[in-house]
Amino acid sequence: MLRSLVGSEMCIRDRTFNMFLRLGYIFLRRKSWPDAKAVFLRACELFRQSSYAWLGIGISCTRMGDYKEAEEALTEANIFDPLNADTWGYLALMCLHDNGRVIQANQALREMFKAGVEQVELLEEIADELARLGKSEMAETCYRKLIEMFNGGRVRNSLTERGSVHLKLAKILHAEGRLAEATEEYQEAHRFAVSESERDKIKTILETLSSA
């Protein structure tokens, strides 16, 4: 009888925990960061060893700009699952937003690549932030990784547009004077552009490069 009651309580706890996790990630998709954080904290109360719950808290705090708490949560997530690429990715993004901590971000980014990148939107966001901070070499590495993922057919149902990735990489190469490489990327950007106006802009750049 007692064993049956304990088993029943554990089953209820597991169902409640899974419900909190699902609800938390729904709030994340809706960008309801405070609600997501609150729900993930409830999940952690039920199962403190859940890397997914800690990751959810870390994502929520990162989006709200609470980088100290975000780092603590993401570190906890990492302890319970050191092979989760998303955790490493959000650690990298958090470090970049937190006063441009590039060295730590680079370390996290390397671990993200080792673990196997899956979230192309996250990797693109990291690349864009690196480019904004003037870290062209690191941004180039990320953009090339994204293109590799497109080439390998690993990008499905993503908001990331292949043409925009080629265009961002082309602009970095162009700024560095690597004109031959930039031309190749502009050509790919033109090929995958999603609008006629975008194709026209890229065509103008290519004509300027060819006449230089």
Note the pLDDT tens digit of each residue in 45-71. Answer: 999 999 999 999 999 999 999 999 999
Mean pLDDT across the stretch 1-25? 73
Query: Is residue 104 a contact partner of residue 94, using CB atoms and an 8 Å limit?
Result: no
34-58 burial, b if ≥16 CB within 10 A, otherwise e?
ebbbbbbbbbbebbeebbbbbbbbb
Residue 100 CA to residue 86 CA, distance in Å, equals 19
Nearest to 178 by CA among 143, 207, 137, 147: 137
What pLDDT does residue 8 have? Answer: 53
Amino acid at 179: L
Average pLDDT, the chain: 92
What pLDDT does residue 1 have? Answer: 47
Neighbours of 200 (CB within 10 A): 11
pTM summary value = 0.91
142-159 burial, b if ≥16 CB within 10 A, otherwise e?
bbebbbebbeeeebeeee
CA R_g for the chain: 21
Quick one: three-class SS letters along 102-139?
A: HHHHHHHHHHHHHHCCCCHHHHHHHHHHHHHCCCHHHH
For 115-147, the pLDDT digits (tens) are 999 899 999 999 999 999 999 999 999 999 999
Amino acid at 108: A
* pLDDT at residue 95 tops 80: yes
Residue 34 CA to residue 180 CA, distance in Å, equals 47
What pLDDT does residue 5 have? Answer: 38
For 151-188, the pLDDT digits (tens) are 988 777 676 799 999 999 999 999 999 999 999 999 99
User: In the structure, what pLDDT confidence band is assigned to residue 6 with cuts at 50, 70 and 90?
Assistant: very low
What pLDDT does residue 31 have? Answer: 97
* pLDDT at residue 104 tops 90: yes
Residue 203 CA to residue 189 CA, distance in Å, equals 10
Contacts of residues 90-95 at CB distance under 8 Å and 24 or more positions apart, as own/partner, are 90/55, 90/58, 90/59, 90/62, 90/122, 91/58, 92/126, 93/62, 93/122, 93/125, 93/126, 93/129, 94/58, 94/62, 94/67, 94/70
Residue 73, token pair as written in the block: 């949560």
